[in-house]
Structure 1
Amino acid sequence: MLERRSCKDGTEVTFVLPGEDPPGPVSVVGDFNDWQPGVHTLQPREDGKRAVAVALPGATTQSFRYLAAGDYWFNEESAEGDGANSRVHT
């Protein structure tokens, strides 16, 4: 799930996943972090889910995917996509 909040210079997008599905560490990788795993790792929240917020510039489209333990790549079901990647528009 994606949560959005307008900011002065763009949009803060929070990437949210269930607490332990998939198990182990998960990071969101994409255009905004040069596809570098581990830069934006999801952390536990009080509601039992895990999330990470990323500030994105306005009026852009960013491609991204999640990377879980064991080199398991997957897309965000609630986002648009082009087949290989999910996309978020700011």
Structure 2
Amino acid sequence: MSLKKKPLKSKPVCKVTFTLAKEQAKGAANVHLVGEFNDWEIGATAMRKQKDGAFTATVDLPTGREYQFRYLIDGDVWISDPEADKYAFSPFGDCENSVVTV
């Protein structure tokens, strides 16, 4: 898994590409990126499966803040990103959310 950040020069936005590696996806049929940037809407941001079995999604995020997120595999399994900028405790599910800082 990884986060790639590409700040735009023309406006205060950063293009963030979220990647869930094939090993983490564990043969998933679909993966969704769920977080503060899409109001935790489960189906809002579907990730695209790549030829190598990884899943990716690119989101434009306003700069100057942090966003919590997680990955939802096949509508059933929630996982955090081990390469996130940091983590924040979530009272929902008694787990840690991944955090990206832009």
TM (norm. structure 2) is 0.78
1:10 shift after superposition: 1.6
Query: What 5-or-longer segments of structure 1 have no aligned partner?
Result: none
Q: Which residue of 2 aligns with 1:4?
A: 5
Give the aligned length: 90
Alignment of 1:53-68 (within 5 A): 53-68=58-73
After TM superposition, the runs of 4+ consecutive aligned structure 1 residues lying more than 4 A away are none
- Contact 1:19/1:44 (<8 A) preserved: no
Structure 2 residue runs of 5 or longer lacking an equivalent are 90-95
**Distance in 2 (alpha carbons) for counterparts of 1:68 and 1:49:** 12
Paired residue secondary structure (2:40): coil
- Alpha-carbon distance in 2 for matches of 1:67, 1:49: 14
User: Among 67, 72, 81, which residue is 2:87 paired with?
Assistant: 81
1:49 maps to 2:54: yes
Q: Structure 1 residue 70: deviation in Å?
A: 4.6
RMSD, aligned CA: 1.7
Once the two structures are overlaid, the 10-residue window that deviates more, 63-72 or 43-52, is 43-52
